[in-house]
Structure 1
Amino acid sequence: MNSTLLHLGEIVEQGAKRFPDHTAYSMGEKRLTYTELEKQSGQLAATLLAEGVQKENRIGILAERSLESFVSVYGILRAGGAFVPLDPTSSVERMAQIIEDANIRIVLTTPAQFRKLRSLDRVLPFAIKLIGIGPEKLSEQKNHTSCLSWDELMATETDAPVLKFSASQLAYIMYTSGSTGQPKGIMHTHRSGLAYAERSARLYRPGPEDRYASHAPLHFDICTFAYFTAPFCGVHTVVLSEGETKMPASLAQVLVRDQITFWYAVPLALIQLLQPGIEESLSQVPMKWVLYGGEPFAPKYVRRLMELWPNSTFSNVYGPAEVNQCTYFNFSEPPQGEEPIPLGQVWADADFLLLDPDTGKTEGVQEGELCIHAETAMQGYWRQESRNLSPFFEANSPSGIRKQYYKTGDLVYFNAHGQLVFKGRIDAQIKKRGYRIDLAEIESAALELDGVQDAACFSTLEGENRIIVLTYQRRREEEFKEEELIEQCRRRLPSYAFPDRLVELESFPRTSSGKIIRGQLKDWIEQLNVHKQES
């Protein structure tokens, strides 16, 4: 699929010409055609320019899952600005950190975020202008001012601006957790965003006949399929509400009602559907593609889903937010055994090397840190010059050309079929009694037991001893004894990697996108123990 687009804003301009009356996005009873998306984002772009927005100015988006968030993204892009997603579920303090760090002076929002904005008003040291909420809501606030509500914005009669763009121009900043506690902003350009849209479109071939369920929120990096790839291909995207993403029965109803054909989310979202009373309805869904990423998908769950969707193709999608996607493994037959599903191969127009973490060599390495050179890669980290040097290094590509590579921090190896397989994070490896132990291997062993829904491992020091703790959550309908899990670990793991302690949890600390927050497990368990003692 060839494209001559120069900037991301052209996706909706092209969509309005190719699919004018086709639904671009829907949510419940609300619909937005490609023509309406182009018009409304153009009105917003003109308004932003009238408010003084200049090239690469950062503009925040604080919104729940909504049609307005899609209009916001393209309005900002077409005005030449860079959008910065603000997670509505994050703390006010973290949100203020991001707003100050990115020097955001305009925030696009919705009335549903009024309480969060009221709290934010108390901690921000400077005023921000709001679009999407009327002035009547802001009478008691000191910093926030209102330009106009969404209804007022849509009533304006303005033409979309025509601007000159550079492919290297900043398009968006995606903030993730930083090791110092300060959020780090991943900068993506129009070039990297378009490269992702074009390559994913070429690989998965979605079209106007498809219906894609948008599960990921805007602040989670895999949302780029819904925001870029889907409109690039004329897909009808069904935007899931907050409740539908959290209630498996409601999600199943949407999949059936809207006859979803394309899916992309973390594995947990589909695992939760595999329960009595819900699982049976999934056979009515005409699923063609199931894309998943963020965490490994246990083969036992994949097999059950493939039985329900026998005509579907699954794709293990891998790529840190810094590079968007970079590898894929597509498969239409159920995986055999419990071995991890491969990452597969690096996709088109990308190069990779394996870096030996001990020697620093890249030649002839069969297991090492995956390093990527791709057009989908980030420009760097926002306002962190020292950090911008650390994840990159220069090396000769397989073709002999000197290139810059991004170090993913993920250990991979080649299997017997020449496919890349994820082994674990470099920072998730520990040394215990001289042995190098990968915590991901312990989690994988636990997940093979039918009764285990999720598992996560961490290590901690108790005195001078290194302790490995395996936490797990059992499936509701499954009964098993802890001794069975102990025996499973003994069968699958070397003796030096056996966990010292097993802890059953009713739930895990998770991000708003569903990924387990492993760094919080120790504190999570301590809090649970305190609550148990108090009760």
Structure 2
Amino acid sequence: MPTLPSFLTATASRHGARPALIMDDRVLTYAELDASANRVANSLIRHGVRGGDRVALWMPKSLEAIISIWGVLKAGAAFVPVDPAAPVARLATIARDCEIRALVSALDRADDLRQAFGTSAPMRTVLYAGDETNPTPAASWVSQTWDEVEAESAHPPPLHSDDAGLAAVQYTSGSGGTPKGVAISHRTFAGQAEWTVTSLGLSTEDRIPGYTPLSGAMSTFEIFAGVLAGATVYPVPPRLAPFPAAVAKSWSDQRITVIYVVPSVLQMLLNRGNLGALDFSTLRIIVTGGEHLPAQRLGELMRLLPRVRFIISYARTEAKLRTLHEVKFPPEDIDTRTIGKTAAGNRLLVLGEDEKPVADGAIGELWISGPCLMLGYYGLPEMTEEVMRTIQLGRSESVLACRTGDLVRRHAGGRLELIGRADEQIKVRGYRVETAEIESALCRHPAVHAAVVLAVPDPETGNRLKAVVVLKDGSDGGEQTLRNHCAAELPPYMVPETIEFRASLPLMSNGKVDRRRLRES
């Protein structure tokens, strides 16, 4: 299996003059993308980055951000994407957790970085993208502007050949109260990209929008599969992303052919994108996944776009597995919950509490095995062992598998139907959220005695977050105060939209909070 940089090198060699990225009227060909990535790689190497090091990215989506990902990989390092909207305190937590060697950020964030890290930064180098004046030097790291990066040599650095090596650490919400990093290898990303390109028939003629932030798991579709196919990617500018009508019009004007977004984005476009008035005659495939899309809403989209193929995808961050299930019109609820086919070598196992396969018709937990599996949670071997086990399937067959926490029903013939979750994990705008992490953040406020976070179903975003809080005796903490406290530690999608105050929380007989009663009251 090839390493990821070989995808870009090969495509640049075959299709160097073709546009790779187009954003805000800036066009970057594959030859230019490859050369710029080499410059980033050479800059990182010159500043001490070595194979296996971690390099974080904390910046809005831009051509420079995508160039940087390829540059990090060409340097033999692993990229660590951090939500650009996350507070600098969260970046600092992640940076120290995986001991980043370097950081790529926007120039206008230099002051935030100095205040957050001071002289205790784990990184030794910061590359700044932006056209402003040079940042004030920091005592604990070397700064380099993008102009200085672009002055580096475009000669390709030595190509690393370890496809089992670390390519990325992607952080997700953690049930233990802090984010946890999912370590992914080159082999896993490459296998996912190759299967996706083949399954969807992607080619140099395709035009793909890049809507998902680079910290989102879906962004690897446009980054890796797009380059492997030689397609043109149109990253959505952050200023445009919140406005459905503007996004939809841009996709119509760009003659987009393949879209991959979460259902909440599709529902937003359906509600406020004015799709019926736009020309989507070039659009051939919409892939959606990450949360449930009601069949009724999917039917509305199908009627508006009758020539488009609609495909439901299932994926987990811990396993770069992607399943695809094409839905026919008119859709039924069972269709939108079906887990489809995946690449050869990957297996979907439905196991009971005894970790044995369940019978047809029964509900069990979905486990995944095969080359799609993560390397583990970065620096958390005990937590890794909790979710990755050797499963005995017969007297002479055993596989390493990862539990997903998703409950599925196994139907006769092998079809799998997604039922729900076995824990409190939820999805908000396509992001995975552990309510325990938000509860931990709330409880770190000195006025809070106890806190519970609930998911309130929402037809457009999937879920909205509501916190129920008990204050300490004599303490004074208002709703906005606690929201501001959460916003200083958590990304925006994890900040509760409403906070309700109570004198106490209802308990079950075992002493645990009765979440069902809280939802009903």
- TM-score for both structures, normalised by structure 2: 0.79
| Matching residue within 520, 523, 526 for 2:500 | 526
Over 3 Å counting, the alpha-carbon distance change for 1:386 and 1:97 in structure 2 is: same
| Matching residue within 355, 364, 373 for 1:360 | 355
Which residue pairs with 1:499 in the alignment? none
Over 3 Å counting, the alpha-carbon distance change for 1:123 and 1:322 in structure 2 is: farther
Give matches, 1:297-446, under 5 Å: 297-336=293-332, 340-357=336-353, 359-362=354-357, 364=359, 366-397=362-393, 401-415=397-411, 418-428=414-424
| Matching residue within 446, 456, 473 for 1:471 | 456
List structure 1 segments (4+ residues) > 6 angstroms apart after TM superposition.
Answer: 467-470
Deviations 1:181-221 (A, max 9, x none): 22211101111111111111121111111110111111111
Over 3 Å counting, the alpha-carbon distance change for 1:399 and 1:323 in structure 2 is: farther
Q: CA deviation at 1:314?
A: 1.4
Amino acid at match of 2:355: G
Over 3 Å counting, the alpha-carbon distance change for 1:144 and 1:136 in structure 2 is: farther
Partners of 2:49 and 2:101 within 8 A in 1:
no
Over 3 Å counting, the alpha-carbon distance change for 1:279 and 1:116 in structure 2 is: farther
Q: CA deviation at 1:351?
A: 1.4
Amino acid at match of 2:135: L
Over 3 Å counting, the alpha-carbon distance change for 1:285 and 1:181 in structure 2 is: farther
- 1:202 paired with 2:187, answer no
- Greater mean alpha carbon deviation, residues 134-143 or residues 179-188: 134-143
Which residue pairs with 2:467 in the alignment? none
Query: How many residues are treated as equivalent by the alignment?
Result: 456
Q: Distance in 2 between matches of 1:25 and 1:165?
A: 26
Which residue pairs with 2:216 in the alignment? 220
Partners of 1:121 and 1:144 within 8 A in 2:
no
Which residue pairs with 1:182 in the alignment? 178
Q: Distance in 1 between matches of 2:410 and 2:459?
A: 32
Partners of 2:359 and 2:410 within 8 A in 1:
no
Over 3 Å counting, the alpha-carbon distance change for 1:389 and 1:126 in structure 2 is: closer
Over 3 Å counting, the alpha-carbon distance change for 1:62 and 1:468 in structure 2 is: closer
Over 3 Å counting, the alpha-carbon distance change for 1:249 and 1:62 in structure 2 is: same
Q: Distance in 2 between matches of 1:255 and 1:294?
A: 21
Deviations 1:116-168 (A, max 9, x none): 4344344955564211258954327444431x222222233341112342111
- TM-score for both structures, normalised by structure 1: 0.77
- 1:139 paired with 2:136, answer yes
Q: Which has the higher contact order (CA 8 A, sep 6+)?
A: 2
| Matching residue within 273, 280, 284 for 2:276 | 280
Partners of 2:39 and 2:153 within 8 A in 1:
yes
Q: Helix, strand or coil: the match of 2:348?
A: strand
Which residue pairs with 1:495 in the alignment? none
Q: Distance in 1 between matches of 2:258 and 2:295?
A: 20
| Matching residue within 148, 151, 155 for 1:152 | 148
Partners of 1:255 and 1:285 within 8 A in 2:
no
Partners of 2:217 and 2:317 within 8 A in 1:
yes
Partners of 2:64 and 2:129 within 8 A in 1:
no
Q: Distance in 2 between matches of 1:426 and 1:64?
A: 34
State the superposition RMSD in angstroms: 3.4
Which residue pairs with 2:43 in the alignment? 47
Q: CA deviation at 1:332?
A: 4.0
Q: Helix, strand or coil: the match of 1:163?
A: coil
Amino acid at match of 2:263: P
Amino acid at match of 2:401: Y
Partners of 2:99 and 2:122 within 8 A in 1:
no
Give matches, 1:447-526, under 5 Å: 471-473=456-458, 524-526=498-500
Q: Distance in 2 between matches of 1:192 and 1:344?
A: 19
Q: Distance in 1 between matches of 2:154 and 2:339?
A: 47
Q: Distance in 2 between matches of 1:145 and 1:221?
A: 30
